A and B are shown apart, each in its own frame.
Chain A
Amino acid sequence: SQTIHQWPATLVQPVGSPLSLECTVEGTSNPNLYWYRQAAGRGLQLLFYSVGIGQISSEVPQNLSASRPQDRQFILSSKKLLLSDSGFYLCAWSEGTGADEQFFGPGTRLTVL
């Protein structure tokens, strides 16, 4: 069966510091991968998605970036965090055909102070 991992689970960072969140998927090949952000008390916003290694599509312009160095690894980064980057970050995957439901990881709760 497929599993998706995210780490760290929680993170507290000062404004202006860098960020690196990691997501890995097991039990599947060539998945579509997604990064979402959920601000407190709000819905989910798609940040990035990837259909293959090195292929990243950005949905929202911001100071975040994503990379996919390996087939089942998806990384969310920032060079300098803003207060507004605080939130709950969720990674998700779906089958490579693109037609199926997305399955989400446990999430990373980021607080920028």
Chain B
Amino acid sequence: AQKVTQAQTEISVVEKEDVTLDCVYETRDTTYYLFWYKQPPSGELVFLIRRNSFDEQNEISGRYSWNFQKSTSSFNFTITASQVVDSAVYFCALRPPNDYKLSFGAGTTVTVRA
């Protein structure tokens, strides 16, 4: 069975602060896929990143960066120099191979104050 845990329910920061969102997962599969999605107040989920389990290279995209640690089953997400537009709910998700089902974490609400 797959399980994704986002222990942080809410995080509030002041603009320009960095914020790190934790994601811990459980799976018995040796190969799997991890994802991060952003859900702004409008409600639509926006795809941010997909990571394959066999690729442990960290990734940076602008102010976003992801730290994948297979040894600790974690896939953390950092927003550098946060902006008000980063305010949203962020979801981490896991998908096993040969399966269509995404297992989502409960989400972390990020509020960036001006």
Query: Contact: B45 with A98, CB < 8 Å?
Result: no
A 90-109 binary contact with B (CB < 8 Å = 1; else 0): 10101000111111111101
Q: Does B54 contact A (CB under 8 A)?
A: no
Supposing A43-B107, A106-B42 touch, asked if A101 and B101 sit within 8 A by C-beta, the answer is no
Interface of B is mostly: loop
Interface residues of B in 83-114 (CB under 8 A from A): 91, 98, 100-102, 104-107
Query: Contact: B106 with A101, CB < 8 Å?
Result: no
| Other-chain residue from A43, A51, A101 in contact with B35 (beta carbon distance below 8 A) | A101
Minimum CB–CB distance from A57 to chain B (whole Å) comes to: 8
Minimum CB–CB distance from B89 to chain A (whole Å) comes to: 9
Please report the total number of B residues contacting A with Cβ < 8 Å.
Answer: 19
Supposing A43-B91, A106-B43 touch, asked if A101 and B104 sit within 8 A by C-beta, the answer is no
| Other-chain residue from A44, A49, A88, A100 in contact with B104 (beta carbon distance below 8 A) | A44
Q: List, in ascending order, chain A residues with CB within 8 A of B104's CB.
A: 43-44
**A36–B45 alpha-carbon span in the complex (Å):** 11
Q: B residues bordering A, Cβ < 8 Å? A: 33, 35, 37, 42-47, 50, 91, 98, 100-102, 104-107
